[in-house]
Amino acid sequence: MSYTETLPRPTTEPPARTTRPGLVLALACAAQAMVGLDTAIVNVALPSIQRDLGAGYGALQWVVVAYGLLLGGFLLLGGRMTDRLGRRRIFVAGLAVFTVASLLAGAAHEAELLIAARAAQGLGAALTAPAALSLLAVTFPEGRARHRALGLFGAVGGAAGSVGVVASGLLTAGPGWRWAFLLNVPAGVLLIVLAAVFLAADRPAERTGRLDIAGATTVTGALLLFVYTLHHATGHGWTSASTLALFAAAAVLLAAFVRIERRSPDPLVPGSTLRNRTLVAANLTGFLAFGALLAFIFIGSLLMQQALGYSPAATGLAWLATTVTVVVAAIGGARLVARAGARTSLVSGLSLLSVGALWLARVPADATYAADLLPAFLLAGLGFGLCGPAVQIGALSGVSQSAAGLASGLVETMREIGGAAGVAVVSAVLVAGSALDGSGLDGFRAAFGFVAVLAVLGVVAAAAGFTGRRG
C-alpha cells in the first residue's frame, strides 16, 4: 500500500507549481546550507569564544548544544506547521527567526546571550528545514526531476557539516568567530526577499480540526529531553542516576504522545504514517546514516588536532576532500536511485562509509594525510553522497502534497536526532578507549570502529526495509 493510499486526503490541495522551479531549488538549497553550516561552524572557534567572552567549559558546551537541542526538538512540529499554515509562510518565518538570532549571536558580549541566540537559531532552523524540503516535494513531480532536485539538496546537506568545519577554521583565523554568525544576516535577508517575491503563495489544506497541541507539546518535549540527555550523559555517565532519570522522563513523554495520538481525531502524526514501510525504512536508515556521518566528522576532526598535531585551519582545509566528494557523488547518487532504487544506493553508500571508518580504525601514530587520512575521507564522502539523497527520496516517495511537510519534518528529525546520538555515543567510546592508552589512539580506533558498526546497521536497515526499484 502506498503512502498516498494510507493518508487521508484533504478537501483542497495546495498548488503544486511555483513560478520558477530552478529558483525554488536554489532557495531551498541555500536555506539547507545555512542550517547545516551552523551545526558545525562553531566547533573550531570554541577556544576563541571562550577567551573573548570569559565563558566556562560548561557554558561553552551549551554554545554547541543549544542549537542542536532546539533544532532536533522542534523539527516535527515545524513540518506539521508547514502543512497547516503554508510552506512559503513557514519558510519565511523560519528564515526571519534564524537571521535575527544570527545577528544577536554575532553581537553577543556575554555567554548567556550567545547561548540564547544559538537556541533561537535552532528554532528558526527547525521551521526552515522541513519547509524547504516540502517546497521541493510539491514543486518537482516524482521521477527524474525530483530525483535531481533532491540529489542536489542532499549534496548540500551532506557537505554542510564538513564545510562548517572548514569555514570555522578560516573565519576564526581571519576576521574572527563573530563572522560565523554575522555572515548569515545578509544571506538570510536576501533569501527572505527572494522567497517573498518569487515563491507562489500556497493555501494550506482546509481542515475542520485543530492543530494537535497536546501531541505537539509532548513529542517536542520528549525530543528536547532526549537530545539533552544524550549530551548530559557524556559528562555525567550513561548509567548515572541523573542520566537514567532523564531517559525515563523522555520515555514517559513519548508514551504520553502515543496515547494522545491514538485518541486524537486529528493527530499530529497520523497512525497510517507508521504503517508505511518505505517511510519507516527511510527514517530508520537516515537515523543511522547521519549518526555515522556526523560521528565520523566529529571524531576525525579531533583525531587530526589532538593526536596528529594539525592546526585548526589545516584541519578545516583537509575536509575539503570529503566536501567535494559528497557533492559530486550526491548528484550521481540521485541518478542511481532512479535507475536501481533507494535500497541499492543506501546499501552501497553505507558500505563505503563503513570501509572508510574501518580504514581510520587502524590509524598509526605517524599517520600521513595522503596515505592514512585521504582515502578514508574520500570513501566517506562517496558513501554519504550516494545514500544522502536516497534517504530523502525514499521518505518523500508517494507522499501527497498535504503531508509533504510532515514527511519532511520526520526525515529531518531523524537526521538531527541521529547525528546527536552518534556524536554523544562515539564521544563515550572515545573516552573509554583513551583510558586504556596514554597516546589516545586506542580511543580513536575504537570510536571509528563504532562508526563502522553504525554504518553496517544502516546497511541492514536499508536492505530489510526497502523493496523493489522504488523502495
Q: pLDDT for 90-145, tens place per residue?
A: 999 999 999 999 999 999 999 899 999 999 999 999 999 889 988 988 888 877 78
Output the pLDDT for position 469.
53
Indicate the angle between helix axes 184-198 and 87-107, nearest 10 degrees: 160
Q: How far apart are CA 444 and CA 381, in angstroms?
A: 19
pLDDT confidence bin for 428, thresholds 50/70/90 = confident
Q: SS3 letters for the chain? A: CCHHHHCCCCCCCCCCCCCCHHHHHHHHHHHHHHHHHHHHCCCCCHHHHHHHHCCCHHHHHHHHHHHHHHHHHHHHHHHHHHHHHCHHHHHHHHHHHHHHHHHHHHHCCCHHHHHHHHHHHHHHHHHHHHHHHHHHHHHCCCCHHHHHHHHHHHHHHHHHHHHHHHHHHHHHHCCCCCHHHHCHHHHHHHHHHHHHHHCCCCCCCCCCCCCCHHHHHHHHHHHHHHHHHHHHHHHHCCCCHHHHHHHHHHHHHHHHHHHHHHHCCCCCCCHHHHCCHHHHHHHHHHHHHHHHHHHHHHHHHHHHHHHCCCCHHHHHHHCHHHHHHHHHHHHHHHHHHHHHCHHHHHHHHHHHHHHHHHHHCCCCCCCCHHHHHHHHHHHHHHHHHHHHHHHHHHHHCCCCHHHHHHHHHHHHHHHHHHHHHHHHHHHHHHHHHHCCCCCCHHHHHHHHHHHHHHHHHHHHHHHHHCCCCCC
Indicate the angle between helix axes 374-396 and 111-139, nearest 10 degrees: 60
Q: How far apart are CA 124 and CA 118, in angstroms?
A: 10
Q: How far apart are CA 430 and CA 112, in angstroms?
A: 29
Output the pLDDT for position 122.
92
Q: How far apart are CA 103 and CA 184, in angstroms?
A: 8
pLDDT confidence bin for 9, thresholds 50/70/90 = very low
Output the pLDDT for position 12.
39
- Contact (CB, 8 A) for 79 and 409: yes
User: Of 170-179, 197-206, 440-449, which gets the smallest average pLDDT?
Assistant: 197-206
Winning range, highest mean pLDDT, from 3-7, 213-217, 368-372:
368-372
Q: pLDDT for 265-310, tens place per residue?
A: 777 777 666 667 777 888 899 999 988 988 898 888 888 877 888 8
Q: How many CB atoms lie within 10 A of CB 101?
A: 26
Please state the pTM of the whole predicted model. Answer: 0.77
Distance of CA 157 to the CA centre of its chain: 7
Q: How far apart are CA 431 and CA 454, in angstroms?
A: 18
Closest CA to 397 of 347, 353, 350, 334: 334
Q: pLDDT for 368-410, tens place per residue?
A: 999 999 999 999 999 988 888 888 788 777 666 666 777 777 8
Winning range, highest mean pLDDT, from 20-34, 156-170, 209-223, 261-275:
20-34
Q: How far apart are CA 84 and CA 191, in angstroms?
A: 22
Q: How far apart are CA 347 and CA 309, in angstroms?
A: 35
Residue 14 has pLDDT above 60, yes or no: no
Q: How far apart are CA 409 and CA 453, in angstroms?
A: 26
